[in-house]
Amino acid sequence: MRFKKIKAKGDKVHVEYEVENSNGTWDEFSMTSAEKPLSSFEAAISNLEAHVIDMCEFGDNPAITVTGVSFSYGGDNGVMGASIIAIKTLKGSNVGLNIVTPHKASESYSEGKADPKQLLDEDCIKDLEALCIEAEKYVKGNRQQLDLFAKQPAEATA
């Protein structure tokens, strides 16, 4: 399984992914769910905030919330590339600033040496891989336990 997009915004998680079939080509799937992800998923997506701050050259302590990642796979080896999507809270506005980081690859797409400015750093790659692991758990049904004893609305119990 490889991911094309992972998005957690508001009360929904959206995942687009591919699975290699027996012919060696990739079948595409997507899902959107309001089921709450595991806290480890939430932590994995939050861990990307520092990378957005670094890539976008923001100063100290900007109010950033990562909402998703768009992945791509290129070259003969299917090298992973990614852009991270985030929202920056603005003091003088009721809505946030939508941010998309520059697209960077995990390694060179071709035989030659890549410009380091075009590459994700090792920590970011590890954090993106951790998010993919959490997204795969989510797709396979590992989500937070629903509260079976939560109070039901009055009309539902009548």
Which of 18, 96, 94 is closest to 52 using CA atoms? 96
Q: Is the pLDDT of residue 108 over 60?
A: yes
Provide the pLDDT for residue 18: 94
Question: Is pLDDT of 53 > 80?
Answer: yes
Domain positions in the chain: 2-157
Tokens 């380091």 -> residue = 116
Mean pLDDT value of segment 54-67? 82
The secondary structure element, H or E, covering residue 30 is: strand 26-33
Is the predicted pLDDT of residue 127 greater than 90, yes or no?
yes
* Residues 68 and 75 sit within 8 Å (Cβ to Cβ): no
